[in-house]
A and B are shown apart, each in its own frame.
Chain A
Amino acid sequence: MNRKGDFQTDVSILGARIRQRRREIGVTQSELARRIGISASYLNLIEWNKRRIAGTLLRETAEALDLPLDELDGSSERRLAETLAEVAHFPALGALGIEDKRIGELIGRFPGWARGVAALARSERAALARANILSDRLSNDPFLGETVHRMLTRIAAIRSAAEIVTEYADLPADRRDRFNRIIHEESAALSEVGEALASYLDKAEEADPVLTPIDEVEAVFEARGNRFAEIEAAAGALTPQLTDPHPIPRRAKADALAEEKLGEVIDDVIMNRSRIATAAARARARRALVDYAAGAILMPMDTFATRSAELGYDIEALAASFSTDVEAVCHRLTALAGEGLPRFGYFRANAAGTIIEMIGLEGLAVPRYAAACPLWVLYRAQQSPEAVLRQRALFPSGARFVFVARARLAGPIGFGKPRHYLTDMLVMTEDDAARTVYAPDPSTFVEEVGPSCRLCPRRACGHRVEDPLSE
């Protein structure tokens, strides 16, 4: 199924949406035209779908209509459709006969129900992640392991002594006393272990309900569509201050400028414009936003959008063109937004295969607390450092993505020292990849991958290490 198919028509009714919204809030065509700086006749053409609208103009129109961009251009509906398509293909629901071809109709006729189902699916995923964390904690917690061992030892001593006292009728009085004392001593010790265990479990229950600071920060980026207009606006003016042509000092200067000149804007985003509950998450969000701001200074959005399109979104060519590194380019690509522009997600993994950063893409289900599918190119890029590897990935849901991964050296190097690599991976739908240098041709091998074994219905896969959750 073409998962975007149901909504491709939305782009062509963009004009109608603008017209409808304008009337809802009681603004005349000429007033709106004035506010967004175009002529009324041009706006009229847009409203009747005779002219396309995209980029900055679309954003300004959304602002003037007091509507989030994703609602105006239908991307929130597209995301909803993608979430519902995932639900339809969830292995546990396979037998229910969900009408996966009629998702568009469901959203159109019962938008509230559709959002409700999507919200339940999200909360189910969060609950699963939490259950995984807890079960990991139970099986790997050194305190629990040690405590259980101590309890069993105490119980063994009590049981053995108690059996001796009851089973050996001829036991001399002094030995009987001795074994009774052992039972007494060991019972007291066992109570202590029990109490320590109970108080430990109490503390574990009180732990913060939000999963981790990483989740909190990711939620902030997701809510903004990976784009922070206030930072973009302030960053552009700083770009001329980058005078050194070399990537490393250039990056250092951008970091310093972001910290120095954009600190206030960043703090305002964190304190007043997002819902972050913990200090750890605030610190993490600050680092992520300083990083974002440095990227915005190095690659101002207007220039970046134009040049990306010219260079076919080639991450290495862009890095060379902006005199920066591939990782910064990947980050920057996730902030690209606008009608007709491809959307990108980004993953970073270490040598252990842990995903240490993730800027998701709708429709790409990834377990945060379990390993993803080992067949992802993300995990084999470290076999050939610095090489850009492309993977054409087919998911069990039918969704097709193109993954572009490259491993790079991280940390200090020198003769005799170990070399550590991190892998950056850019992700895009196959439809979007068609507009990039990474476009697969029809003969490119299609790899059948999955989200992770627990979420993957491919029973026959030779790389399966766990049964699907639906079992």
Chain B
Amino acid sequence: MTKRVLLAEDEPNIVESLTFLLERAGFDVTVETNGRLALEAAMADLPDVLVLDVMLPDLDGYEVLRQLRADRRAETLPVLMLTAKGQREDREMALKCGADLFITKPFANAEIISAVNKLADRRSD
């Protein structure tokens, strides 16, 4: 069965590239461009992996993650967080809020694909 990825990212050009890459890697991709909608979408229908940008309108990535982790259903949802490079506090914060993995921008495409694959495999274990 095709694994589902929810991509929460508000930069349209990055969304376009990531959607292309994830689809090519065999995932079914849904996109949300603001934090609140991403949270609602995830809770309405848990994806196999959530790719979550930190800087989102309405509700930032940390808050989305915090609320997800506070709900038992999403406690173990695999989450890959995208943060900006060099912002050390971001990285620490991402892990503290319960991200499984994080990748800093600018990233290599292969990094993202391999991280999402890893999280999706963990889901099926």
**Which residues in A have some Cβ–Cβ distance to B below 8 Å?**
148-149, 152-153, 155-161, 163-164, 167-168, 175, 178-179, 182, 185-186
> B101 within 8 Å of A by Cβ?
no
Q: Establish whether residues A185 and B108, one from each chain, have CB atoms under 8 Å apart when the complex forms.
A: no
Q: How far is the CB of B49 from chain A (nearest CB, A)?
A: 18
Given A157-B17, A161-B17: A152 and B105 within 8 A (CB)? yes
Chain B 4-43 per-residue mask, 1 if CB under 8 angstroms from chain A, else 0: 0000000101101110110010000000000000000000
Q: How far is the CB of A185 from chain B (nearest CB, A)?
A: 7
Contacts of A168 in B (CB 8 A): 24
> B122 within 8 Å of A by Cβ?
no
Contacts of B84 in A (CB 8 A): 148-149, 152-153
> For the complex, what is the distance from the CA of A156 to the CA of B85, rounded to whole Å?
10
> B46 within 8 Å of A by Cβ?
no
Q: How far is the CB of A215 from chain B (nearest CB, A)?
A: 32
Q: Establish whether residues B14 and A160, one from each chain, have CB atoms under 8 Å apart when the complex forms.
A: yes
Contacts of A149 in B (CB 8 A): 55, 84, 87
> For the complex, what is the distance from the CA of A163 to the CA of B109, rounded to whole Å?
7
Interface residues of B in 70-125 (CB under 8 A from A): 84-87, 105-109
Q: How far is the CB of B19 from chain A (nearest CB, A)?
A: 11
Q: Establish whether residues B106 and A152, one from each chain, have CB atoms under 8 Å apart when the complex forms.
A: yes
Q: Establish whether residues A156 and B107, one from each chain, have CB atoms under 8 Å apart when the complex forms.
A: yes
Q: How far is the CB of B60 from chain A (nearest CB, A)?
A: 13
Q: Establish whether residues A156 and B20, one from each chain, have CB atoms under 8 Å apart when the complex forms.
A: no
Contacts of B106 in A (CB 8 A): 152, 155-156, 158-160
> For the complex, what is the distance from the CA of A186 to the CA of B105, rounded to whole Å?
14
Contacts of B14 in A (CB 8 A): 153, 156-157, 160
Q: Establish whether residues B16 and A155, one from each chain, have CB atoms under 8 Å apart when the complex forms.
A: no
> For the complex, what is the distance from the CA of A32 to the CA of B13, rounded to whole Å?
88
Q: Establish whether residues B107 and A148, one from each chain, have CB atoms under 8 Å apart when the complex forms.
A: no
Given A161-B17, A182-B16: A155 and B109 within 8 A (CB)? no
Of B85, B86, B87, B107, which is within 8 A of A160 by CB? Answer: B107
Given A149-B55, A156-B105, A163-B108: A186 and B13 within 8 A (CB)? yes
Contacts of B11 in A (CB 8 A): 153, 156-157
> For the complex, what is the distance from the CA of A363 to the CA of B68, rounded to whole Å?
58
Q: Establish whether residues B109 and A167, one from each chain, have CB atoms under 8 Å apart when the complex forms.
A: yes
Q: Establish whether residues A148 and B16, one from each chain, have CB atoms under 8 Å apart when the complex forms.
A: no
Q: Establish whether residues B86 and A175, one from each chain, have CB atoms under 8 Å apart when the complex forms.
A: no
Apart from the given pairs A149-B84, A182-B13, 19 other A-B contacts in the complex at a CB distance below 8 Å: A152-B84, A152-B106, A153-B14, A153-B55, A156-B105, A157-B11, A157-B14, A157-B17, A160-B18, A160-B21, A160-B107, A161-B16, A161-B17, A164-B20, A168-B24, A179-B17, A179-B20, A182-B17, A186-B13
> For the complex, what is the distance from the CA of A178 to the CA of B87, rounded to whole Å?
31
Q: How far is the CB of A150 from chain B (nearest CB, A)?
A: 9
Most A C-beta atoms less than 10 A away, residue of B17, B84, B87, B109? B17
Q: How far is the CB of B21 from chain A (nearest CB, A)?
A: 7
Chain B 45-74 per-residue mask, 1 if CB under 8 angstroms from chain A, else 0: 000000000010000000000000000000
> For the complex, what is the distance from the CA of A185 to the CA of B11, rounded to whole Å?
13
Contacts of B21 in A (CB 8 A): 160, 164
Of B17, B86, B108, which is within 8 A of A148 by CB? Answer: B86
> For the complex, what is the distance from the CA of A167 to the CA of B21, rounded to whole Å?
11
Contacts of A185 in B (CB 8 A): 13
Of A152, A161, A163, which is within 8 A of B13 by CB? Answer: A161
> Which single residue of chain B is at the shortest CB-CB distance from A160?
B17
Contacts of A182 in B (CB 8 A): 13, 16-17
Contacts of A158 in B (CB 8 A): 106
Q: Establish whether residues B105 and A164, one from each chain, have CB atoms under 8 Å apart when the complex forms.
A: no
| 3 A-B pairs with least C-beta separation | A156-B105, A156-B106, A160-B17
Q: Establish whether residues A152 and B20, one from each chain, have CB atoms under 8 Å apart when the complex forms.
A: no
Of B55, B85, B87, B109, which is within 8 A of A164 by CB? Answer: B109
> For the complex, what is the distance from the CA of A179 to the CA of B105, rounded to whole Å?
18
Q: Establish whether residues A160 and B109, one from each chain, have CB atoms under 8 Å apart when the complex forms.
A: yes
> For the complex, what is the distance from the CA of A157 to the CA of B12, rounded to whole Å?
9
> For the complex, what is the distance from the CA of A179 to the CA of B109, rounded to whole Å?
14
> For the complex, what is the distance from the CA of A178 to the CA of B86, rounded to whole Å?
30
> Which single residue of chain A is at the shortest CB-CB distance from B14?
A157
Contacts of A160 in B (CB 8 A): 14, 17-18, 21, 106-107, 109
Contacts of A179 in B (CB 8 A): 16-17, 20
> For the complex, what is the distance from the CA of A159 to the CA of B108, rounded to whole Å?
7
> For the complex, what is the distance from the CA of A459 to the CA of B87, rounded to whole Å?
30
Q: How far is the CB of B88 from chain A (nearest CB, A)?
A: 11
> Which single residue of chain A is at the shortest CB-CB distance from B53?
A153
Q: Establish whether residues B16 and A178, one from each chain, have CB atoms under 8 Å apart when the complex forms.
A: yes
Q: Establish whether residues B17 and A164, one from each chain, have CB atoms under 8 Å apart when the complex forms.
A: yes
> Which single residue of chain B is at the shortest CB-CB distance from A150?
B84
Q: How far is the CB of A453 from chain B (nearest CB, A)?
A: 22
Could you name 9 residue pairs across A and B whose Cβ atoms are closer than 8 Å? A152-B85, A152-B105, A156-B11, A157-B13, A157-B14, A160-B14, A161-B13, A164-B17, A178-B16
> Which single residue of chain B is at the shortest CB-CB distance from A183?
B13
Q: How far is the CB of A173 from chain B (nearest CB, A)?
A: 15
> For the complex, what is the distance from the CA of A186 to the CA of B13, rounded to whole Å?
8
Q: How far is the CB of B28 from chain A (nearest CB, A)?
A: 19
